[in-house]
Structure 1
């Protein structure tokens, strides 16, 4: 079981450890010849459970997404942190923007790695393939929307402070997932025109079930305790972090 900082542990412990506990494991897998290194958290028991793909921020698979996987397992979900970058790529803060930008600029590669991670989640024996979701943070928040646009058979996706780039015209018609977008109301990375653009994308698909919540006073990366760069538009916001997690739980309760 990973050992977390006191700050991450305090967030994790908001979800009490269930009587049977949970188990975790590092998971090596392959996507189109690229070695990837993910992380799996399983609830106790041996019956089927809903599966949740967790897509990392621009730093890759680290303690933050591992902690979120454990929170989800404590709630009874099979949670898998997919590795979009590949096992050999773990950027630091200085080069993370360039690495993430390579995937934003190559949507085909981005989607291949996302669908590969989703397929790896589905390969788990405990996952009920009829009840699945994907959540993501920052880079991963953009990623789960890209996964939805592929037409993947995922029940719902939740974007936490993700970049909100609309897809090609008409592509929203292929989305099968219900969508929950959670963004910061003063996030300069996602200005008002970006919010309007993605709302217009989804309005063009009248049968699509989507919702968008903006949290007052919240900047980019508002769920991440280490975010403290308000001059660059990124800062942790404890209230928005708690509220957005609760909103996700309500979304999942309806979804499943």
Structure 2
């Protein structure tokens, strides 16, 4: 196994954007590609590490940029402002996700018929919105994501398979929000799964987060269980499309 990674500047609405691509250089031929959508701070080492981990599973991981090259949340205030721009313009968010998917499919190591996406926090909303566009991406996985749908009609049916990995005590997604998402996805005739982890708050995959008073904290058991669920999801998804 020889994992390599490199920065990639790519185009999209409001761009250019700068992400990181990771792959196992010892593997021959094309392989599935998986987007990694970032949390509200923007693309960072956390997402790069996830892309590298996906490369270790035999995929091409692409940690994408949703704010634009050089635009990152250096402070909570900056991140909130950047996130607010996309929350207020969901069509723009969806177009940026579609552009990132197109970039992934154009990489020489990627099988364009086998693509997926994962996302964390805001990135969870991003990958759900990509599915909501009716994209023909194979499947998406939301880790401690935000579930509110866009304020307009979305695709029916949703063709992408969906896996949602959720901390039951997450203040950003209440039990009512979970039920509403299940209803939404069922109405859209999506193939969906929701895994909820008890005694688990928001940001449960991120070891650097320890804000339990704000409902945000790393939970190692949920981190391991969710990553394992994602691995099984993509194994089933891509083997079915072989």
Q: TM-score, normalised by structure 1?
A: 0.89
Structure 2 alignment gaps of length 5 or more = none
Shift of 1:102: 1.4
Tell me the equivalent position of 1:34: 15
SS of 2:76's equivalent in the other structure is coil
Of 233-242 and 89-98, deviating more is 89-98
| Conserved 8 A contact 1:166-1:197 | no
- Number of aligned pairs? 236
Shift of 1:54: 0.6
1:237 aligns with 2:237: no
Structure 1 alignment gaps of length 5 or more = 1-17
| Conserved 8 A contact 2:13-2:92 | no
Shift of 1:61: 1.1
Tell me the equivalent position of 2:163: 180
Instruction: Identify which of 109, 124, 133 aligns with 2:116.
Output: 133
Taking the aligned partners of 2:215 and 2:91, their CA distance within structure 1 comes to 29
Tell me the equivalent position of 2:136: 153
Tell me the equivalent position of 1:11: none
Shift of 1:169: 6.8
Instruction: Identify which of 176, 182, 194 aligns with 1:193.
Output: 176
SS of 2:118's equivalent in the other structure is strand
Q: 1:172 to 1:195 in 2, by over 3 A?
A: farther
Shift of 1:58: 0.7
Instruction: Identify which of 229, 233, 237 aligns with 1:255.
Output: 237
Q: Runs in 1 of length 4+ with deviation above 3 angstroms?
A: 167-170
Alignment RMSD (CA, Å) = 1.3
Taking the aligned partners of 2:147 and 2:49, their CA distance within structure 1 comes to 25
Taking the aligned partners of 1:130 and 1:166, their CA distance within structure 2 comes to 27
| Conserved 8 A contact 1:167-1:201 | no
| Conserved 8 A contact 1:172-1:201 | no
Tell me the equivalent position of 2:29: 47
| Conserved 8 A contact 1:172-1:202 | no
Tell me the equivalent position of 1:5: none
Taking the aligned partners of 1:76 and 1:247, their CA distance within structure 2 comes to 16
